[in-house]
Amino acid sequence: MPTVLVIGASRGIGLELVRQYAAEGCRVIATVRDEAGRARVQALGAQALTVDVANPASVSGLAWQLDGEEIDVALYVAGVMRRPGACTPPTQTDFDAVMHANVLGAMQAIPQVAPLVEAAGGVFAFLSSSMSQIGSVGESSAWLYRTSKAALNMAVAAAQHDYPRATLVTIDPGWVRTDMGGENAPLSVEASVHGMRRTLAHLTHADKGRLLHYDGQRAAHW
């Protein structure tokens, strides 16, 4: 039975990943921030761990909570968005919130989780965004979010070299109807997660460290 870890599973894409992997018969471990999230993932048959990725002390507890595990698929889903464009300077509060959740949390999780993924010869995927691609920037909206996801892409591409027996990638879930994506987004959570799962199940050696899209397309510009 494959073991799947979903970091940031309280709701939205993370919770749907738990649902689909559990329905497939996988053993799922999911991190949540509060009791409401714990109840939701446990109702799907998953094991719940309490972790706040924006809190370094909380993330540092992942290693002992996962001691002895071998993880076939790990997904870092947690993320924060702030929407103003470049006409508005980010406040320190917004900068810290976005960078801690989207970048620092992921960089703290890698040394704790990647060795467990390596042990299984598995995949460690981090949710990024097409908005992170420097070669195709069409506007300045959410420039802090864009910057954080570009930094995440670099962190994962660099980390791949230290974990050669694992496959580390970033993946764009598409524009999804979630609290972050809004009700006008064209993709359902179910369709996005189904696509990502299929893409992650068919990775090749050439994909290591790359940005992928939920539908299997490989990013032409990073």
pLDDT bucket at 114, cuts 50 / 70 / 90:
very high
**Mean pLDDT, rounded, of the chain:** 90
Determine the Cα–Cα distance for residues 143 and 165; give it in Å rounded to an integer.
Answer: 34
What is the reported pLDDT for 79?
81
Strand partners, 213: 172
74: nearest Cα among 19, 115, 133: 115
Query: Between 85 and 113, whose confidence is greater?
Result: 113
Query: Between 3 and 11, whose confidence is greater?
Result: 3
In the predicted model, is pLDDT for residue 192 greater than 70? yes
Determine the Cα–Cα distance for residues 192 and 162; give it in Å rounded to an integer.
Answer: 29
What is the reported pLDDT for 221?
55
What percent of the chain shows pLDDT beyond 70? 94
The average pLDDT across 126-150 equals 82
Query: Between 107 and 180, whose confidence is greater?
Result: 107
Determine the Cα–Cα distance for residues 103 and 147; give it in Å rounded to an integer.
Answer: 10
In the predicted model, is pLDDT for residue 222 greater than 60? no
CATH of segment(s) 3-213: 3.40.50.720
Query: Between 185 and 193, whose confidence is greater?
Result: 193
pTM confidence score: 0.93
pLDDT bucket at 81, cuts 50 / 70 / 90:
confident
pLDDT bucket at 24, cuts 50 / 70 / 90:
very high
Task: For residue 195, give both structure tokens.
Answer: 């696509």
127: nearest Cα among 25, 200, 29, 55: 200
The average pLDDT across 114-126 equals 97
